[in-house]
Copies of this chain bind each other. A is one copy, B any other.
Amino acid sequence: MIELDRYLAEHRELVDAELERVLAPAEGAPPRLHEAMCYAVFSGGKRIRPILTLAACEAVGGVRDRALPFACALELIHTYSLVHDDLPAMDDDDLRRGRPTVHVQFDEALAILAGDALLTEAFRVAAEGAAAVDPARTLKLIAVIARAAGAAGMVGGQVADLEAEHVVADVALVESIHRRKTTALLAAAIECGAGAGGATAAKDSALREFGQALGLAFQVADDVLDASAPSAVTGKRVGRDAEQGKATYPAVVGIDEARRIARELLCRGLGAIESFGTSAEPLRAIARFVVERAG
């Protein structure tokens, strides 16, 4: 067993330092825009996605720094999606990680534009940052990220999520929303780590399976947390999903069955990378951590 807390802290620090570097004020960027972007990015997030990218890179024996630009790009995209999801026209949330959301702290226009800028800069960071990775491979990973984040991925999932509010959802619909809204980007985080680390085709394929299972398990666990944990843990109001009539696993199968599904998915994911040896131990520990926090 590795010391997970130390691993997470150390890798979070790496990601944060690189995010600070890539988000340094550029000439021509309005100070309020830059402030809003930084407010959103440095808001106490756990950096799960970028840490998974680094851990996947390490799991295939890759040089961790080569995965860092992709890790940052994925965190920037994750951050923009939260800023836009919180907008009044969408989930209309005023609290995120215990702080006012960006449109509350600044204003709605700036929240939209800060999100747009974060998404745009994500691709700049991926394109500019990966000097040590083969350019053709970097291009492939940029396409992986864009597909995961785009119309058939994260954005499509958010549209489907909004469409499913206050309709009677079944487990197939909830899975289909989660796979696009959350799983896609999380799986891309792992795929980018594998790609940047120079994974063999077999390891790449195993990590994709791991990513798909973990990505869904993560969101199921998140649904369980939202339905049961106090606000101090989630940083959001308790039961916000139910209040909004969101399609969630607890809503369609109950909390206990949702917990069981999350554990089953975790088990499947860990099975996919069983042969990886000790270099994958951090990846396994993170997977257990993100799923088991739902109890």
Contacts and interface: CB of A to CB of B under 8 A. Distances in A.
Given A123-B146, A146-B123, A160-B30, A155 B117 contact: yes
Contact of A112 (B30, B87, B152, B156): B87
Contacts of A15: none
Contacts of A29: 151-152, 156
A143 B124 contact: yes
A288 interface: no
A149 to B, nearest CB: 5
Interface centre among A89, A138, A147, A180 (most CB of B within 10 A): A89
A166 interface: no
Interface residues of A, number: 55
Interface stretch (A56-64, A102-110, A194-202): A102-110
A153 interface: yes
A152 B27 contact: yes
Interface in A80-139: 80, 84, 87, 89-90, 107-110, 112-113, 115-117, 119-121, 123-124, 127-128, 130, 134-136, 138-139
A267 interface: no
A270 B121 CA distance: 32
Interface centre among A113, A142, A143 (most CB of B within 10 A): A113
Contacts of A145: 123
Identical chains in the assembly: 2
A178 to B, nearest CB: 12
A150 interface: yes
A92 to B, nearest CB: 10
Nearest to A87: B112
Interface centre among A34, A110, A123, A151 (most CB of B within 10 A): A151
A162 interface: yes
Interface in A1-51: 26-30, 32-34, 37
A253 interface: no
Interface of A: 26-30, 32-34, 37, 80, 84, 87, 89-90, 107-110, 112-113, 115-117, 119-121, 123-124, 127-128, 130, 134-136, 138-140, 142-143, 145-147, 149-153, 155-156, 158-160, 162-163, 180
Given A90-B112, A113-B158, A127-B140, 12 more contacts: A26-B151, A27-B152, A28-B153, A30-B156, A33-B155, A84-B112, A84-B116, A89-B109, A121-B146, A121-B151, A124-B147, A138-B139
